[in-house]
Amino acid sequence: MLDIKIVLLFIILVSTAYSDKIKAVAVLPNPADTVSGVGSKGNTEHQSIIAAENNVTIESNNVISDEDVTESLSEINRLRNLLIQNPNTPLLIKKSSQALKDLEDDYDLDLGFNYIVVGQYDMVSGEKAAGGDLDIFGVYTPLQDIKIGFKIETRHLIGALSSNDFKNSIGSLYRTSPGFDKESPSLIELWWQIKKENYAFRFGQIQPDNFIDNYVYKSSTRYFMSGALSSNPYNAYPSYGFGIKGIYKFDTKYYIAGEVTDANAEKGKFKSTFFTEKEFYSAVEFGITPKDGSKYHLTLWHRDETDKHVEAKGGVLSLVTTVKENIYLFTRAALSQGADVRRYVAIGAGQSTMFTSNDLTTIAIAIAEPEDSTNARTQTTLESFYRINLYPGVQLTGDIQLLYHPSYSYENWAVIPGFRLRVFY
């Protein structure tokens, strides 16, 4: 079994040994900058890629989740353009990047993959867990405004405990990392979408939370690892299943989003009760997206009672403010009934390019009162992570979580250092 403490020590030693070299490895000079004589000031093409990876661009305002297939491919296409243009890119990577770009240009098929490996260790209980997740996804565009998307997922373990097992062993109210387990490849998304300048409409086998209640650091594969901050624990989302969702922007500032999905959906299963049982999860969101990259939204949701789940409903107010181009502050507050969490509040901040031109540093705290407050305690989670781009398309994150009064534990604390390595292409 892999010892997580050894892995964490290795990560620290490698990061220390290469601290003077990381910038040189990650920053590939842009030919245009070199020719124009501004290379010594920092290459703007690489900076724009790093800015996109660190989520400091202001165009999307995180209305759609960074983990959505279309958003992930946008990130990957920016990366490929960088790799193709750069003279320092290894020939094999440059040729494969060009081949995938040609596939999109000639056949309208855009493909990408995302792989993460994560490890964590609880310093109080001594529990440890590690594993990985591989996603292969793509979009076929037969017409300019029409897209057909898919996503295949497989997960694996390194050791005995899955992410859910680790959560249960330390008594946490929610997962403390991205999901990993022993799972065979399965098709979890397959949908059709039409997108115009001011609206998008999608139906099929969909992910229920990528059009609803998104904020600047909502992604356990990119940002905070804990479900307290990278997901919506106060929302009783069903799993991947049949549904209909859409977004409409009234102008550059205001939007409305909504969805109706199968409340009985099960991940990896295409058998739907959407039209037979007529038991739904539904949500509506009203939002404001100023030009500076801030985002303010109110989300209201409801899930019908089913054979396996009680009726649930709730709402959340989310405020994300851009202090500077590379600094975000956020506050979120939610009330719900029938979800895992019935009262929730979180506040945090993040800054990119704090120490180098390609890093991201964040800290946040979340307080959550479980639905079953008679048998479980209110849990407070403090999390901070530091992420650096070792190379375009390769991100390494060091993470620390302090859990005060884990909801289902007799211990008062859990102290969880961890790491995450992400490769996307």
Single pTM value for the model: 0.84
Average pLDDT, the chain: 86
pLDDT of the residue at 255: 95
Cα–Cα dist 425/423, whole Å:
7
Question: pLDDT tens digits for 130-168?
Answer: 999 999 999 999 999 999 999 999 999 998 999 999 999
Do 272 and 240 form a contact (C-beta atoms < 8 A)? no
pLDDT of the residue at 63: 85
Q: Is the pLDDT of residue 17 over 80?
A: no
Q: Can you tell me whether residue 299 is helix, strand or coil?
A: strand
CA 186 from centre of chain: 19
> 4-424: CATH homologous superfamily?
Porin (2.40.160.10)
Listed in sequence order, the residues at least 6 apart from 9 whose beta carbon sits closer than 8 Å to its beta carbon are none
Question: pLDDT tens digits for 90-144?
Answer: 999 999 999 999 999 999 999 999 999 999 999 999 999 999 999 999 999 999 9
Run of H or E including 53: helix 44-53
* Residue 59 CB neighbour total at 10 angstroms: 9
pLDDT of the residue at 60: 54
The residue ranges of every structural domain in the chain are: 4-424
Residue 402: strand pairing partners: 382, 415
Q: Can you tell me whether residue 277 is helix, strand or coil?
A: coil
Cα–Cα dist 233/341, whole Å:
6
Q: Which residue has the higher pLDDT, 279 or 38?
A: 279
* HSE-up (13 A, CA, CB side) for residue 309: 24
